[in-house]
Amino acid sequence: MKKHLIVVLIFICVAWSAFLLTGCNSKDSANQYEINFVVDNNFYAKTNVSNGTIEKMPSDPQKEKYIFQGWYFDNNQWNKPLTQQAILDLPITNDKTINVYAYFVAYNCNADGKEHSLIETTSVKATCTQNGSKTYVCTACDYSYSQVIYATGHNCKKTITKEATCTENGTAHFVCENCGYAYNEKINAVGHNLGALVVTTSAKCKQDGEGYRHCSRCGEDIIESIPQTNHKLDSTKHCINDGCEYFEMFNCSVVVTSQFGTFTKDLSLEYGKPFYVSPESYGVEQLKFLGYYNGEEKVSDEKGNFNAVFQGQKSLSVTAKYYFAVTKADDLIALQDNSFLATYFTNQKHTEPLKVEIENEIDFKNVNWQPITINGYIDLNGKNHTLKNYYSTSGGLFTTVGKTYVNSTTIKNIIFETANLNIENLSADNVGKYSEMYTIGILASRITGAIEGITIKSGTIRVEYNGDLDLLVAGICGRVNSIINCTNHATITTNTAVAGGITVSADSVVGCKNYGIITTGDYIVSAMINSVYSNSYGTSGIVCEATSIERCINYANLTCKRLNIAGISITAKQITECSNFGDITATNGSAAGISYLCTNYDIEKACVDRCSNHGNITGIEYVAGIVCSSLGIANSYNVGDIISKTGYAGGIAVSYTNLVTMKYCYNDGTVKGKTGCFGGIVGKAQNVSLLKCINNDNNWASGTYNQTLCKVNDGTDNCFIELGYDSSIWQFNGNGKPMLKWETEYEA
């Protein structure tokens, strides 16, 4: 090192151009400045600095006997030269104007003001990356200075050595032409130039699809996933997307009401599909489900499958209908003993009888039946199945059925074959108690309601009874509200004094027939003797007491020892179109072919109308072909023998009260009574009017009567026709014994 060596920094254009060329790794400054160049406190020049680059450097200032050393930020200090780096390092401030100052150093060439005699002694060339320098030495003094020659920066030439493709990066190779410095630069892949998507597999609701796009640049088909579409549900909750079968279920509350109660089933159902609601069984094995109903419309089958498909409703109300199926004798017992049914019957509304159906023939062989009681309403249909070999020493099939509501129970269409009741020690539990009387019958002791179509094809009822209440015996049912089209063939033999071939007591009896021989005894209890009941009860082919009787026929012989006896009834208010063909014998009372009494107080209306007697009627008090006492008789006839051994006899009636009207009646039977106490039409007339009656002799009546247009039968139909017997009522056979038209139309 030389003494007093002063390094003079000279900014020369070459140095600045080096700054400007170093683009390979330049650094930007966002600041823009204005630089004022100041020489000895005078403005000299100015220029802008933009992005770290000085736009234009002024020419170096000249000062006599001084050598310009460079521009400095710190005036008089001369520590902070203006360099490229200094510009880049300038703080970012609001002050956009910066001053730089010219630094001069005075010559020192032997202090005489002479110029130095400079020679360049050493010279280091600047390279691309390293500064060079020139050193000048004064030959006359020690003065020297070095001039920095800044690195030139590389002069790079770019060569693409690998082109970028759609998917692969390329490479650019840079070589400095000056120094050979070389480096590679990545060229990013350009990406495919893809066309429209070609779908190869469509996306599904829950499965991605696939397709591809063709690259026009590289020709590759780029596979692309197509996202799943997800389900799109319509109002039926079914996915409407093509080929998708996905659906969601609806929640539906099905409210089922039956006669046994209401329950709700919460179901999950598919729209538009058949649906099913499992029927409740209530734990009763005999209960058969008939279906669900909407009002009267049946909306399901017998398994609970609905006829319609589900329509998405949130709730549904239906009625469940059931019937109780009887396939064996024990099923009938279940009607009484099943605890669920017992509770049901207790709370039962009378408008909803339990439907009961007999499904097949039932054989009671080897069973001594204990009658069952149903304290509720049933609607029993035997469907004309046969109950064979019914046998009981206790009573009928049922004791009592029904509650207090009339006609809320019906029992119909049962055939009994070989039915045997053999009563010796009657238990009061097995009879229907009515007032001071018990009743009993093969079907039931008592039914509150209606009976229809019950047939006892064969059988016997034998009763030996000596209890303390009167026991009334019936072929079918002791007491019932109405009984229709029932037939009894069972013989009835009892030591008691009251029996009816069909029933003992009913409001209405229609279309019933009795073929069973009835033989009653004389056992009655004091309650019956001398009471009103003695005029209502006795031995009868059909019924003892009834309100109205129609189209009933007795074919059987009846015999009693006590009280009264008749082919159809003991007492009734209206008897229409009834016939008796049996021989009727009272060994100790009155007897009639049709009824002992008929007491309709409507005197304008014949309370006995279109009835006939064909059997022989024998008694010891009042004996009549049709009715012992009645308020009005019309269109009736007798062809049987009417015999009162010790009392009055009448071919049509015996009257002890006023017989208001007797018209269009004829007698062709033999009538005999106590001397002077019998007549072909009326046995004991008291102010009776006979109108157009015909007898086989002119003994119309005993007692007081008047007759109008009455005739003696001449054995032809003429006298009937002449009297105006109505051919719509009468069937003329040419023999003077016309029949009633209904008889010819009514099969026995």
Residue ranges in 691-730 that form contacts with Zn ion under rule CB under 5 A: none
Please, what is the minimum distance in Å from the beta carbon of residue 156 to Zn ion? 7
C-beta of 154 vs 610, nearer to Zn ion = 154
User: Are residues 273 and 312 in contact, defined by beta-carbon separation less than 8 angstroms?
Assistant: no
Please state the closest distance from residue 337 (CB atom) to Zn ion, in A.
Answer: 57
Nearer to Zn ion by C-beta: 137 or 578? 137
Three-class SS string for 211-275? EEEEECCCCCEEEEEECCCCCCECCCCEECCCCCCCECCEEEEEEEEECCEEEEEEEEECCCCEE
Scanning 79-87, 225-233, 389-397, 460-468 for contacts with Zn ion by CB under 5 A, the matching segment is: 225-233
Q: Shortest CA distance to 249 belongs to which of 277, 276, 269?
A: 269
Query: Does residue 176 interact with Zn ion by CB under 5 A?
Result: yes
CB 313 within 8 A of CB 341: no
Report the nearest approach of Zn ion to the CB of residue 218 (Å).
3
Min dist. Cβ of residue 227 to Zn ion (A)? 14
Give min distance, CB of 87 to Zn ion, in A.
24
Strand ranges across the sheet with 209-215: 194-201, 209-215, 221-226
By beta-carbon proximity to Zn ion, the closer residue of 140 and 729 is 140
Exactly one of 12, 179, 190, 729 binds Zn ion (CB under 5 A); that residue is 179
| Cα distance between residue 509 and residue 257, in whole Å | 37
- In the complex with Zn ion, the residue whose CB is nearer, 190 or 367, is 190
Question: Does 109 help bind Zn ion (rule: CB under 5 A)?
Answer: yes
How far apart are the C-alpha atoms of 260 and 324, rounded to whole Å? Answer: 12
C-alpha distance from residue 154 to each of 11, 161, 174, 681 (Å): 20, 20, 10, 161
Q: Which is nearer to Zn ion, 245 or 266 (CB)?
A: 245
Considering the complex, what minimum distance in angstroms separates the CB of residue 187 from Zn ion?
15
Choose which of 205, 267, 691, 729 interacts with Zn ion (CB under 5 A): 205
- Report if residue 231 touches Zn ion, rule: CB under 5 A: yes
Instruction: Say whether residue 5 binds Zn ion (CB under 5 A).
Output: no
Among 241, 389, 393, 422, contact with Zn ion (rule: CB under 5 A): 241
Q: How far apart are CA 589 and CA 559, in angstroms?
A: 11
Tokens, residue 111 = 């202090």
Please state the closest distance from residue 175 (CB atom) to Zn ion, in A. Answer: 9
User: What are the angstrom distances between the C-alpha of 738 and each of 66, 114, 592, 610?
Assistant: 179, 190, 21, 12
SS3 category, 17 = helix
Using CB under 5 A as the binding rule, whether residue 663 contacts Zn ion is answered as no
Consecutive H or E run containing 432: strand 432-434
Q: How far is the CB of 134 from Zn ion (least distance, A)?
A: 17
Q: Which is nearer to Zn ion, 176 or 480 (CB)?
A: 176
Planar angle of CA 31, 36, 40, nearest 5 degrees = 150
User: Do residues 542 and 571 touch, judged by C-beta distance below 8 A?
Assistant: no
Which residues have CB under 8 Å from 290's CB, separation 6+? 298, 302, 321, 322, 323, 355
How many angstroms from the chain centroid is the CA of residue 112? 130
Helix H or strand E segment including 337: helix 329-337
CB of 162 to Zn ion, least distance (A): 16
Contacting residue, 6, 21, 218, 299, with Zn ion by CB under 5 A: 218
Question: Are 649 and 680 spatial neighbours (Cβ–Cβ below 8 Å)?
Answer: no
Within 41-60, which residues bind Zn ion (CB under 5 A)? Answer: none
Candidates 21-29, 236-244, 319-327, 522-530; binding stretch for Zn ion (CB under 5 A): 236-244
Taking CB under 5 A as the binding criterion, the range among 169-177, 303-311, 603-611, 721-729 that sits at the site for Zn ion is 169-177
Using CB under 5 A as the binding rule, the residues of this chain from 122 to 161 that contact Zn ion are: 128, 138, 140-141, 143, 154
18 scored as a contact of Zn ion (CB under 5 A): no
Separation CA 625–CA 632 (nearest Å):
15
Nearer to Zn ion, 230 or 706 (CB): 230
Locate 657 and state its tokens. Answer: 């009260």
**Binding window for Zn ion (CB under 5 A); candidates: 27-35, 216-224, 378-386, 607-615:** 216-224
Phi and psi torsions of 232, nearest 5°: -125, 110
Nearer to Zn ion, 128 or 401 (CB): 128
Distance in angstroms (rounded) separating the CA atoms of residues 239 and 224:
25
Closer of 6 and 141 to Zn ion (Cβ): 141
Q: How many residues bind Zn ion (CB under 5 A)?
A: 23
Contact 438, 424 (CB under 8 A): no
266 strand-pairing partners: 253
Show the tokens assigned to 219. Answer: 């020709």
Judged by CB under 5 A, the residue of 175, 187, 244, 267 near Zn ion is 244
Q: Which of residues 558-577 bind Zn ion (CB under 5 A)?
A: none
Select the residue interacting with Zn ion from 44, 78, 246, 340 (CB under 5 A): 246
Among 37, 82, 148, 192, binds Zn ion (CB under 5 A): 192
Contact segment (CB under 5 A) with Zn ion among 168-176, 508-516, 582-590, 670-678 equals: 168-176
215 binds Zn ion (CB under 5 A): yes
Rg of the chain, C-alpha, whole Å:
67
DSSP annotation string for 157-187: EEEEEE---SSS-EEEEEEETTT--EEEEEE
Q: Which is nearer to Zn ion, 205 or 660 (CB)?
A: 205
Least Å distance, CB 203 to Zn ion, is 11
Between 193 and 315, CB nearer to Zn ion: 193
User: Which of 145, 141, 101 shows the shortest CA–CA distance to 10?
Assistant: 145
Q: Which is nearer to Zn ion, 34 or 248 (CB)?
A: 248
- CB 34 to Zn ion: min, Å: 34
For binding to Zn ion (CB under 5 A), which residues are involved?
A: 109, 116, 128, 138, 140-141, 143, 154, 166, 176, 178-179, 181, 192, 205, 215, 217-218, 231, 239, 241, 244, 246
